[in-house]
Structure 1
Amino acid sequence: MNSPITGTAAGVPFTALPPAEDGPAPLIVTWHMLDAPRSDAAFAAALPMNDLPAWRVHLGMPMCGARMVDGSMDAGLELIREDVLMSALHPFVRQAAEEFPAALESIRAQLPVDDGPIGVLGGSLGGAVALRILADTDVPVFAGAVVNAAIRIRSVVDLFPGDYPYDAESEKVADSLDFVAKADTIAGRAPLLVVSGELDHPALRADASDLVNALGKRSELLPIPGLAHPLADEPGIEPAPQLPPASEVDAGLTAWFRRHLAKAS
């Protein structure tokens, strides 16, 4: 197995896992969770998809991993306390999506990836980024997958204490991050695997089911017994041994992307 490659792509930190064979290969891009694993390196260790004949490039989310402020998540937690939607969740998703085109161009310049459609994968809030790439951009994608994803941002907001004080602006933002409402667009872009831990938050599990139902034949739901919301143990910043439920997720993702890589080629 080849060693991970670390670097930056247009300012975005990444951990890249090369395929076993040399030469140009397809590209799968991922965005990690804010729960554990909460860095690109830790997400790569949790879901390496080592048997895929493709590059897996795990991008760092804003204010996480190499972009933590003063080496901790404290600054990000303060934004959550300030305004969970408008100071934290929405800006993180928006920044990750907006910086992706330049990061993709830089990845293609640095690594021997082919110039065909890519795969996209996101966990939790990173799932919202992957879904936004599908719903709101024209980047060619051969297949997508999300794991315990933020499919409706209102469901994520509801996980935090207190009643969120929505106003006209935050209602508009929440609507823009409701990907069940964008299912027709997503279904027209690429097939999507929706992985849902059977111990994940009930609202997120319900959203996963709703998205699959709305997508129809272009989607599959993969329930994972024993999986709660995180994919790794705390603190989830450094790479750690793969947990058994994450191994099941990894196997499901590998089979899904392998199937659609074959169709794409």
Structure 2
Amino acid sequence: MSSVITGMAAGVPFTALPPAAGGRAPLIVTWHMLDAPRSDAAFAAALPLHEVPAWRVHLGMPMCGARMVNGSMDAGLELIREDVLMSFLHAFVKQAFEEFPAALASVREQLPVDDGPIGVLGGSLGGAVALRVLAETDVPIFAGAVVNGAIRMRSVVDLFPGDYPYDAESTKAVDSLDFVAKADAIADHAPLLVVSGELDHPALRADAHSLVAAVGERAELLSVPGLAHPLADEPGIEPAPQLPHARAVDAGLSAWFRRHLTGG
């Protein structure tokens, strides 16, 4: 990890890994999980994609990594207690998505990346950001991927204790983050790899299968034996050695992005 580059892109912290050959190359942008690994640096260590001949720029999610409040995740946990959907899940995806255009422009200014189509990758809640980019923007994308992704936000809300008290505003918000319903837009934009751990939450596994079926021939499912939801051990903030299950995910993602970079 000696070649890791860290910086800020329009206020968004990032960890960048250059291609092995160095120099100008295509770009893959990622958004990390809120489970471990829960920072851009930790996500880069868990899924470095060293075999992909591209720059991998891992963007930090709100209030994570360099943007933690007082050096901890406590402020984020307080938002969960306040309102798990509107203050936390929806709010984080909305902010990360809205930050993306300026962050992308800043990355292009700072690093020797090609000006062609990019790849996008998201893990868990970061997957919802990647899927929004695929479904709702016209940014040229050569391929996308999600790992244990937040594909239907209702399923994610249901993982938290208690019955969520939906009203008109929160119903609109949660429905806006149902990417099975946006499968046609995703299919029109780029090919998609959906990585699903066989030990992930059953509802998230079901959503992964539903998204692949809805996107159709432009989507593929990679089911990873033994993988639960996280990709790293707790606390998941600092870079850590790659776990065996993360290595399997990394290999699948690397093959996927390499294939589409070469037009296969």
Alpha-carbon distance in structure 2 between the residues aligned to 1:79 and 1:2: 35
> Helix, strand or coil for the counterpart of 2:262?
helix
Alpha-carbon distance in structure 1 between the residues aligned to 2:146 and 2:22: 28
Alpha-carbon distance in structure 2 between the residues aligned to 1:2 and 1:191: 32
Alpha-carbon distance in structure 2 between the residues aligned to 1:9 and 1:17: 15
**Cα displacement (A) at 1:71:** 0.2
What is the aligned partner in structure 2 of residue 23 from structure 1? 23
What is the aligned partner in structure 2 of residue 36 from structure 1? 36
What is the aligned partner in structure 2 of residue 240 from structure 1? 240
Q: Give the AA of the match of 2:251.
A: A
Q: Give every structure 1 segment of 4 or more consecutive aligned residues whose post-TM-superposition deviation is greater than 3 Å.
A: none
What is the aligned partner in structure 2 of residue 227 from structure 1? 227
- Give the % identical residues: 83
What is the aligned partner in structure 1 of residue 250 from structure 2? 250
Alpha-carbon distance in structure 2 between the residues aligned to 1:52 and 1:224: 20
CA contact (8 A) 1:2 1:20 kept: no
What is the aligned partner in structure 1 of residue 81 from structure 2? 81
Alpha-carbon distance in structure 1 between the residues aligned to 2:39 and 2:128: 16
**Cα displacement (A) at 1:2:** 5.6
What is the aligned partner in structure 1 of residue 101 from structure 2? 101
**Structure 2: runs of 5+ lacking an equivalent:** none
Alpha-carbon distance in structure 2 between the residues aligned to 1:170 and 1:214: 25
Q: CA RMSD in A?
A: 0.8
Is 2:40 the partner of 1:53?
no
**Structure 1: runs of 5+ lacking an equivalent:** none
Q: What is the TM-score of this pair, normalised by structure 2?
A: 0.99
Alpha-carbon distance in structure 2 between the residues aligned to 1:136 and 1:187: 12
What is the aligned partner in structure 2 of residue 210 from structure 1? 210
Alpha-carbon distance in structure 1 between the residues aligned to 2:199 and 2:51: 27
What is the aligned partner in structure 1 of residue 183 from structure 2? 183
Deviation string, structure 1 residues 28-62 (Cα, Å, up to 9, x no partner): 00000000000000000000000111000000000
> Helix, strand or coil for the counterpart of 1:150?
coil
Alpha-carbon distance in structure 2 between the residues aligned to 1:52 and 1:145: 14
How many residue pairs end up in the alignment?
Answer: 264
Alpha-carbon distance in structure 2 between the residues aligned to 1:46 and 1:179: 25
What is the aligned partner in structure 1 of residue 171 from structure 2? 171
Q: What is the TM-score of this pair, normalised by structure 1?
A: 0.99
